[in-house]
Structure 1
Amino acid sequence: MAISTKMKTFTIGLCTAALLAGCSAGQSESAKPQEPAVSAAPEPVTLSVLLRCYKVSPEEFERNFAAPVKKKYPHITLVNLECRDSKHLDELIVSKELPDIIDDGLLGLHDMLSRDIPADLQPLVRSEQFDLNRIDPKAIEFVRSIGQNGELYSMPRVRSASAVYYNRDLFDKFGAPYPKDGMTWDDYIALSRKLSVQDSNIQYQGLLIGAPRPMQTQLSLSYVDRATDKAAIQSDGWKKMFETWKAIYDIPGNRAAESKNLFNTRDRFIKDKTAAMYADINILEVLLTELENSGTKWDVASYPVFAGQGRGVMGAYGNGLIITKTSKHKEEAFRVIAHLLSDEVQLENHKNGQMTVLVNPEIQKRLWENSSIFKGKNIAAFYHNDGADPYVASRYDQIAYSQYSTALRNYVYGVKDINTVLREAEEATNKAIEAEKRK
């Protein structure tokens, strides 16, 4: 009997289905498609952190370090070693209990290297594909200049913001115009003369400066010639810096009675309220809150620049993150650092007043956004100027800094001419460096 075309097709389909079913049934278990493997949860890791040497509250450490890391990496726990004093690091070295991560000032990196503490981060930058172009290139350049072959011994984390803080009440009292962004040191000195006055037996100061280092980095001045290990103070730049300080404090009534108080000027602005202007790196929010709560009207203007030198204001003045050579968890430690430098974490810290090292302009413009005391203040002042070119640092900078600071006090308060003061500082520094080498 003839079979129809439809029946042929149906029969072939059945045979094919049966054949496929038979093949499937004959497969071994190992040949069957496997379910995707479920990766095991990472082993818990605890990383110790030393903030050298500054203290933060447990709440601040949790907010700025531990919590963001825990959110990104639930298996990583950060523990703050809570730096006690300047000797704490030495004690950790002796006891072989160095932390995994150290947050330290970039200016202290030479000291860290002299103790053989930091690991070079470049291999981790490559393996973790971290984009260094997101970070202020001058800060990276400064760190690389400290290594012998361009090593990256620290990852910049936060910049120090510089500005002129001013007491609007005193400007109103003496009828002086408020400072504006872009003013030079000469402009500020001229304005200071209008505010360094005595009134009702109270001596008011027009302009006070904090530590010398902001102006030193502003002029990109090296303390020591790294090629010779000799003092580098005999230069036009150091001469300009010394003469600028003297011009400020030669204004009648603007100088403290004793030379030991030359750099201790902040309280006269915050507590005494006798200083109209105070130029320095960022003032802690707790101190500005004290000023705000006293009813004082205050604001900020851009840090002074030198005439003819553009808008360069301050070099690599801030903190960076180091991974110690002894850490057993370098990869995890670097991932922690990378996350602390993410847009998300940097933005939140920036809004709380920790000035970002990122070059992202959308983040930069949101400085102090979470702070009620900065509402209505001239936040743009902190970003009005550009960063200065980094200076070449030396392992003997701290020795030179001590000698130069003494020389600066002697010049501002003394009778010796600038050439004599610089020559004597050079001789004293070279002797101190030689003594250090003989130890």
Structure 2
Amino acid sequence: MAKKSSYLLLASMLSTVALSGCGGQGNEGKGTAQDVQDKKKEPYTMTIFTRGVSADEFDDRFRKAIEKKFPHITFKYIMAGTGTQITDLVSQGTIPDIMRIDVPSMNTEYIDVGLAYGLGDLIKKYNYNLKRFNSVFIDEMISAGRTGELYGLPVPPYFPMALYYNKELFDRFGVPYPKDGMTWDEVYEIAKKMTRVDGEVYRGFSSSTNAMLRDNPFSLPILDPAADKLADPGKWTQIFNNYLRFYQIPNNVMEKTATLEGNAFGKGKVAMMAGQQNIYFIIPPEVNWDMVAYPTITGAPKLMGQRGPAYWSITKQSQHKEEAFEVIMEMLSDEIQMEDSKKGIATTLVNPDIKKMLGKSHPVFSTKNMNAVNFYEPTSPTPKRKPELVDIPGRTQEAAILEAFTSVVTNQADVNSALRMAEEKLKKAIDAEKAAKK
């Protein structure tokens, strides 16, 4: 695996302490809260805030378990929306106890608004075993915080990259199905064979373009970690050229927007799509699809690119930090993650028994090659900005690189010019952020 960030030192120290106090596999990560369990529990309300997880999903995955485990707690669930953004809650003085944060927005919606709370002391107190998680996700959170603190624990799903294919089209044109372990060169040759006009146009390849660029197997960041510029233009040139050739195949024309391109596979006229294994990505039932491991690119580690998970975090203002941590431990337990995995929600744990159950109880995923997402280990997280440098939101960076790639595909710019334009957009965004901080 690619070299880990130096921030892993903290995770290693914490997990070493954790291992000294853990019992057998069935108790890993559950902690030792006997002192709290033995005391009479006074009833109170604990508030949990998330972005992007509906109340129905939260109830289905977590509520029953935590209400059973903590009967004295009334759980108030708030989903971000109009009037309930975290900035709204802070201004109203209704700060949640637990938050579900993600890396792209953790600065603006957690750290910068004064909510951040490092979990190190609680991890030590409960002898919590960080090694039950894939180390990539722990490293990601520590490095993203840029302080050496661990601000959250990884909650499924994460979004591994995979290559989808339409079995009906491959059968129709007599081309063998893709398989796990292919290179992008091999996929390119298949895409050329599968792009054809047979009464109507059939495309050989489409993509979730933003994910394909951002979640690249080099773990290449968009913004340079040490300077106000685009990271490694030479490597971005290689990435652009690798994907660009697919859209230069005659008749394999990219859709007009990234959203349309990401949904093209579901129309049934595209042979292959590079995208995320995503419980929220619904392919119409009339498309007979399957998937294989994400292809490898020349010079990159044989690892699977992915959009990392969100994280359960605790606010600095919470008056119930210890029980909030206990609630988080329960929501990340082996039992809950096993049920998640069976539904097709990729686990953040290293437990092989949980991994191999991915999608087993899902009516669609249970018929697919779900092992494709575990064929390679996840890539290391992209290097983060030095703490002394001004950072800009991940979504701003993603927009700049996506616009650059689209301009090349649509023949509005060559690769070098497009990357220079992306760098200029990044610099302007950094300058605006510096001005806002004055």
Deviation for aligned residue 1:41: 2.9
Change (3 A) 1:106 1:86: farther
Separation (CA, whole Å) in 2 of partners of 1:163 and 1:213: 11
Question: What amino acid maps onto 1:427 in structure 2?
Answer: E
Separation (CA, whole Å) in 2 of partners of 1:399 and 1:269: 26
Partner of 1:277: 272
Change (3 A) 1:86 1:264: farther
Partner of 2:235: 237
Partner of 2:290: 299
Q: In 2, are the aligned partners of 1:347 and 1:363 still within 8 Å (CA)?
A: yes
The answer as to 2:215 corresponding to 1:224 is no
Separation (CA, whole Å) in 2 of partners of 1:378 and 1:96: 48
Q: Which range moved further: 151-160 or 400-409?
A: 400-409
Change (3 A) 1:74 1:39: same
Structure 2 residue corresponding to 1:145, chosen from 143, 146, 153: 143
Deviation for aligned residue 1:320: 1.2
Q: List runs of 5+ in structure 1 lacking aligned partners.
A: 1-37
Change (3 A) 1:144 1:276: same
1:183-216 alpha-carbon deviations (Å, 9 max, x no partner): 122221211111122221x222111110423443
SS in 1 for 2:76: strand
1:365-402 alpha-carbon deviations (Å, 9 max, x no partner): 11011112123321211100111121123431333222
Deviation for aligned residue 1:164: 1.6
Partner of 1:267: 263
Structure 1 residue corresponding to 2:126, chosen from 125, 128, 137: 128
SS in 1 for 2:432: helix
Change (3 A) 1:144 1:351: same
Separation (CA, whole Å) in 2 of partners of 1:280 and 1:85: 30
After TM superposition, the score normalised by the length of structure 2 is 0.83
Partner of 2:366: 375
Partner of 2:312: 321
Change (3 A) 1:376 1:424: closer
Separation (CA, whole Å) in 2 of partners of 1:347 and 1:320: 18
1:25-60 alpha-carbon deviations (Å, 9 max, x no partner): xxxxxxxxxxxxx955311232222221x14252x2
Partner of 1:44: 43
Question: What amino acid maps onto 2:182 in structure 1?
Answer: M
Task: Map 1:90-129 to 2 at 5 A.
Answer: 90-111=87-108, 112-129=110-127
Partner of 1:197: 196
Q: In 2, are the aligned partners of 1:191 and 1:206 still within 8 Å (CA)?
A: yes
After TM superposition, the score normalised by the length of structure 1 is 0.83
Question: What amino acid maps onto 1:189 in structure 2?
Answer: Y
Partner of 2:19: none
Partner of 1:348: 339
- CA RMSD in angstroms, aligned pairs only: 2.2
SS in 2 for 1:194: helix
Q: In 1, are the aligned partners of 2:212 and 2:274 still within 8 Å (CA)?
A: no
1:85-125 alpha-carbon deviations (Å, 9 max, x no partner): 59722222222222221223333323332333221111111
Question: What amino acid maps onto 2:406 in structure 1?
Answer: R
Structure 1 residue corresponding to 2:61, chosen from 59, 64, 71: 64
Q: In 2, are the aligned partners of 1:106 and 1:156 still within 8 Å (CA)?
A: no
Q: Which range moved further: 215-224 or 340-349?
A: 215-224
Question: What amino acid maps onto 1:167 in structure 2?
Answer: N
Q: In 2, are the aligned partners of 1:399 and 1:433 still within 8 Å (CA)?
A: no
SS in 2 for 1:242: helix
SS in 2 for 1:91: helix
SS in 2 for 1:275: coil
Question: What amino acid maps onto 2:331 in structure 1?
Answer: L
Question: What amino acid maps onto 1:321 in structure 2?
Answer: W
Q: In 2, are the aligned partners of 1:212 and 1:405 still within 8 Å (CA)?
A: yes
Separation (CA, whole Å) in 2 of partners of 1:333 and 1:278: 41
Separation (CA, whole Å) in 2 of partners of 1:110 and 1:191: 42
Deviation for aligned residue 1:222: 1.6
Deviation for aligned residue 1:281: 1.2
Q: In 2, are the aligned partners of 1:139 and 1:316 still within 8 Å (CA)?
A: no
User: % of aligned pairs identical?
Assistant: 30
Change (3 A) 1:401 1:114: farther
Question: What amino acid maps onto 1:414 in structure 2?
Answer: N
Deviation for aligned residue 1:64: 0.8
Q: In 1, are the aligned partners of 2:95 and 2:317 still within 8 Å (CA)?
A: yes
Structure 1 residue corresponding to 2:414, chosen from 395, 417, 420: 417
Partner of 2:20: none
1:122-161 alpha-carbon deviations (Å, 9 max, x no partner): 1111112111011110111111112333100121112223
Separation (CA, whole Å) in 2 of partners of 1:82 and 1:257: 33
